[in-house]
């Protein structure tokens, strides 16, 4: 069973629909026992980092998430959910994250060449840097995935699995042990996204 954490800021319907189309058992929850009982956990997220971090803390699940990740249970962060995996974010101030992946989240606007718009919205080719990673068992460099974000993960090169070009190599996917994250939305990325979710279900 895949537990999807419900803390008020996720695109849960599309994600659940994608997972169920793959025949995967899912449960949307904010109960610690469900995370303990699950085979895998997904942390979705859209919106602002500080607000999402506060809402996640309010669920009382942070310690459970950390314990499950430390025990080696596969955990997937999606979009803002991936950003929450990092040590900190500089989105409208400085805010601590879960600290499960080394690195930090910084503004795209300060790094992009002139003429490129923020937020970064649209389809980009996924450039897989670590093709041997099982998260990309069914993926290839011809895959395009869908992004919607104004901040991106930086100073995380050792843990970066894939990037997409948008004026700079935007961190597209990361791994630290059993914890993986994708900046793009697999549930909005068509067949390429479904293949990635399928691979996650087999980790």
Question: Which are the catalytic amino acids?
Answer: 79, 185, 187
Q: How far apart are CA 15 and CA 59, in angstroms?
A: 20
The answer to whether 147 and 187 have CB atoms below 8 angstroms apart is no
Q: How far apart are CA 84 and CA 101, in angstroms?
A: 9
Q: How much helix, strand and coil, in percent to the nearest 5, is found in the chain?
A: 30, 30, 40
Q: How far apart are CA 85 and CA 125, in angstroms?
A: 23
């Amino acid at each position: 069973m895949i537990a999807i954490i419900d803390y008020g800021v996720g695109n849960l319907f599309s994600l659940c629909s994608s997972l169920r189309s793959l025949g995967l058992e899912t449960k949307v929850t904010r109960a610690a026992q469900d995370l303990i009982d699950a085979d895998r956990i997904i942390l979705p997220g859209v919106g602002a980092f500080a607000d999402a971090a506060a809402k996640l803390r309010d669920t009382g699940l942070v310690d459970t998430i950390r314990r499950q990740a430390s025990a080696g249970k596969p955990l997937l962060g999606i979009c803002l959910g991936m950003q929450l995996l990092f040590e900190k974010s500089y989105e409208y101030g400085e805010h601590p994250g879960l600290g499960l992946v080394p690195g930090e989240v910084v503004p795209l606007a300060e790094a992009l060449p002139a003429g490129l718009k923020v937020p970064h919205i649209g389809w980009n080719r996924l450039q897989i840097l670590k093709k041997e990673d099982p998260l990309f068992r069914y993926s290839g460099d011809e895959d395009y995935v869908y992004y919607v974000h104004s901040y991106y993960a930086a100073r995380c090169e050792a843990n970066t699995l894939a990037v997409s070009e948008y004026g700079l190599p935007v961190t597209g996917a990361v791994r630290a042990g059993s914890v993986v994250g994708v900046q793009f939305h697999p549930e909005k990325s068509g067949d390429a996204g479904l293949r990635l979710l399928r691979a996650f279900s087999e980790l």
